[in-house]
Amino acid sequence: MSGDIRELYQQMIMDHNKNPRNFHALKESNRNAEGYNPLCGDHFKVFLQMDGDVIKDIAFEGAGCAISKASASMMTTALKGKTRQEARALFEEVHKMLSRRIGEVFDASKVGKLATLAGVCEFPARVKCASLAWHTMCEALEPTGKQVTTE
Amino acid sequence: MEPSTGAKAFDVEAIRKHFPILKERVYGKPLTYLDNAATTQKPQIVIDTLSQFYSRENANIHRGIFCLSEQATKRYKSSRHRVQEFLNAGSDKEIIFVRGTTEAINLVVHCYGRAFLKAGDEVLITGMEHHSNIVPWQMLAEQTGIRLKVAPINDRGELETGEFKKLLTGNVKFVSIVHVSNALGTINPVKELVRLAHEAGAVTLVDGAQAVAHTAVDVRDIGCDFYAFSGHKLLGPTGIGVLYGKKELLEKMPPYQGGGDMIRTVTFEKTTYNDLPYKFEAGTPHIAGVIGLGAAIDYIRSIGLDKVEAYEQELLKYGTEQILQVPGLRLIGTALKKSAILSFVIGEAHAHDIGTILDRQGIAIRAGHHCAMPVMQRFNVPATTRASLAFYNTKEEIDRLVAALHEVTEVFR
C-alpha cells in the first residue's frame, strides 16, 4: 500500500468513519442546512443549536465516503462550544489546509486534531469530500439560501 | 498442439500494441484501464486518421468545388456507408450522425415524440435505463402530458419480462429500452422485447451505447425502429454518435435543428427541407469525428466482434470468479446474460474510497451512480464501483484489480 494512501486513511479517520460522533438529528437545533454533491452522492445535514453566538450543540446525519463522513464527525467535535467567529475562523484554516498546494506547509497548531485531514490535499479529487460538511455548517451558521455543494 | 478455441486464438498482446495509451504509467504503475463503459481507448489507426485528416485533408463537406472538399465529402459519405454495414441497416439514408447516444435519444423524443405522441399516450422504459433514456421522456411528459411507465427488474438485475408484457397496454405508443445496462451489465433480449412492443402497436428505440463495441448488432434482425450509439464507446472519437431510424419514420418526422445542409431551398417566406439523412444534420457536422468513427468501425470489424465477444465473456467469467474471493464483496448485477461489467460494493467501504485506493495502483474504474440513480435505488446502494472490460484487457489486469481490492478490505477492516 502506498504511503499517501496510509496517510489518507489513517486510524483516526477510519475511526471517525466507523463510529461517527454526534451522528444524529438534533431536536433542539435552531439552525440547520443540507449539503449535497450530486455527482458523487455525498449528502449530509448539519444541525446547530445556537445559544446567542455560541454553538451550544452540533450534530450531523447523512451518508458519504469515509473522508466526508470523518471530516463531518471531526468538525462536530471541534466546534461544540465555539462562538460563531471561532467557527468561521476554523473553517478558514481548514479550507486553507485542504486546498493548499501539494508540499506547501501549513500551521497545524491552528487546526488541532483536524490536521489528520492534511493529507487530503494530495488527492485533489477528494478535497470536495472533506469540505462538504464544513460548507454545510457555514450555511447553517450564516444562511445565504444557496444550495450547498462543493462539486 | 492444443486445440484452439476462439478465445485462445485471440492474441490480446498483439491487440494491446494497437492502443498506445495502454503503455502509459500512472503513479509509477502500469495503467490498468477498466473504465471502458465510460469510454473506450483509441487504437493508433483512429488517432492517425484524425491527425491525417486535420494535417492533410481538412475541408468542409458538401460545399467546395475543390479537390479537398470533394475528398472530405467522399470520406464522410463512406463512413456513413460503413456504419450502415456495421448495423446491417437497409440504407445509408437511415444513418443520422449526432453527437452521441444522448443526442440520438433526444432527437427521437424531440422530433418523433413531440410530433406523434399526445397527452395520455404512454412511453414504456425499463428500470435499468441510463438517465439519458429517462430524463428526455420526463421533459416530454412535462411538455405534452404523455405518461412514463417503468418495467421493473429483478434481484439479478434482469428485466421482469412478465411485468413488461403486462405494462404493454393499448396506451403504450413508444417503448424505449437499453440493449446492455451500463450499471449492471445485463443484456436485454431486445429482439423479443421489440417484437412484443410492435405487437402492441408501439414504436421502439434501443439504446445501444454499451452494446456496439461488445457484440455484433443487426438492427434489421432486432427489428427496432430506432437504434442509438456513441462513437467514443466504440474506439472512436468523442462528440460523434449515430441514430439509426427506419426510413418511413424518419421521413415523416419534422427536422431536428434548422440551418445549413438540412435545407433544399430557403426564401424569407418558405423553406423546403433536404432529404434523408441531411434533414437531421443541420450545420457543419463533426467531419473528422465521422471519418474517425469509420476507421474505428473498420478496425473492430477486422478483429471480429464474434471474437471480441467470446474473449470478453471469458474475461467476465474469470473476473467474476476472482472478484468474489474478495471478503465482503457483493456483485450488483448478476444477470444470466451479461456483458463484461463487474459492478460491486464492499462492506462499508464507499465507492469513492475504493476508487481512490485503486487509482494509486494505476487502476482506472468508475465509482458512483453511473448516471443510473434509479438502479442504485433499486439495489438500495448509494453507489457502486464498476470495472468494465474491453477486448484489450487481460486476466493479469483482473488479478491487479483483485489484489488492490484486498488492500481496500485491509483499510476498511
pLDDT in tens, B240-294: 999 999 999 999 999 999 998 888 899 999 989 999 999 999 999 999 999 999 9
B95 alpha-carbon distance from chain centroid: 16
Whether A14 and B411 lie within 8 Å, measured CB to CB: yes
Instruction: Decide which of B280, B301, B322 is a domain's last residue.
Output: B301
Contacts of A5 in chain B (CB under 8 A): 356-357, 360, 407, 411
**Do the Cβ atoms of B101 and B208 come closer than 8 Å?**
yes
- Scanning A65-104 for CB atoms below 8 A from B yields 65-67
Average pLDDT estimate for A43-69: 96
Range of the domain at A15: 3-141
Is residue B242 located within the same domain as residue B322? Answer: no
Is residue B219 located within the same domain as residue B259? Answer: yes
Question: How far, in Å, CA of B88 to CA of B217, rounded?
Answer: 8
Instruction: Decide which of B255, B284, B301 is a domain's last residue.
Output: B301
Average pLDDT estimate for B297-308: 98
**CATH assignment of the domain containing B309:** 3.90.1150.10
Question: How far, in Å, CA of A51 to CA of A66, rounded?
Answer: 31
Measured between CA atoms, the residue of chain A closest to residue B371 is A39
Q: Which of B80, B136, B128, B144 is nearest to B105 (CA)?
A: B136
**Do the Cβ atoms of B325 and B232 come closer than 8 Å?**
no
Q: Which of B315, B327, B318, B353 is nearest to B406 (CA)?
A: B327
Which residues of B have a catalytic role annotated?
371
**CATH assignment of the domain containing B243:** 3.40.640.10
Measured between CA atoms, the residue of chain B closest to residue A37 is B368
Residue A63 lies in a domain: yes
Is residue B280 located within the same domain as residue B259? Answer: yes
Q: How many domains does chain A have?
A: 1
Is residue B28 located within the same domain as residue B120? Answer: no
Contacts of B412 in chain A (CB under 8 A): 14, 66
Range of the domain at B381: 12-42+304-411
Is residue B394 located within the same domain as residue B335? Answer: yes
Question: How far, in Å, CA of A151 to CA of B4, rounded?
Answer: 51
Going by DSSP bridges, is the β-strand pair B263-266/B122-126 parallel, antiparallel, or unpaired?
Answer: unpaired
B352 in A contact zone (CB under 8 Å): yes
Q: How confident is the model at residue A61 (pLDDT cuts 50, 70, 90)?
A: very high
Pull the grid cell for residue B20.
498506445
Is residue B123 located within the same domain as residue B153? Answer: yes
What's the pLDDT tens digit per position in B289-301?
A: 999 999 999 999 9
B348 in A contact zone (CB under 8 Å): yes
CA distance B187 to chain A (A): 26
Is residue B282 located within the same domain as residue B379? Answer: no
Is residue B156 located within the same domain as residue B178? Answer: yes
What's the pLDDT tens digit per position in B8-38?
A: 579 999 999 999 999 999 999 999 999 999 9
Going by DSSP bridges, is the β-strand pair B25-26/B29-30 parallel, antiparallel, or unpaired?
Answer: antiparallel
Strand, coil or helix: B315: helix
Q: To 10 degrees, what angle do helices B287-303 and B67-87 make?
A: 40
Question: How far, in Å, CA of B201 to CA of B174, rounded?
Answer: 8
A115 in B contact zone (CB under 8 Å): no
Question: How far, in Å, CA of B97 to CA of B262, rounded?
Answer: 13
Going by DSSP bridges, is the β-strand pair B172-178/B203-207 parallel, antiparallel, or unpaired?
Answer: parallel
Residue A147 lies in a domain: no
Is residue B244 located within the same domain as residue B281? Answer: yes
Q: CB under 8 Å to B252, separation ≥6 — which residues? A: none
- Scanning B207-226 for CB atoms below 8 A from A yields none
Is residue B120 located within the same domain as residue B262? Answer: yes
What's this model's pTM, rounded to 2 decimal places? Answer: 0.94
Instruction: Decide which of B271, B301, B331 is a domain's last residue.
Output: B301
What's the pLDDT tens digit per position in B164-198?
A: 999 999 899 999 999 999 999 999 999 999 999 99
Is residue B276 located within the same domain as residue B289? Answer: yes
Q: How many domains does chain B have?
A: 2
Is residue B91 located within the same domain as residue B213? Answer: yes
Contacts of A14 in chain B (CB under 8 A): 411-412
Residue A146 lies in a domain: no
B360 in A contact zone (CB under 8 Å): yes
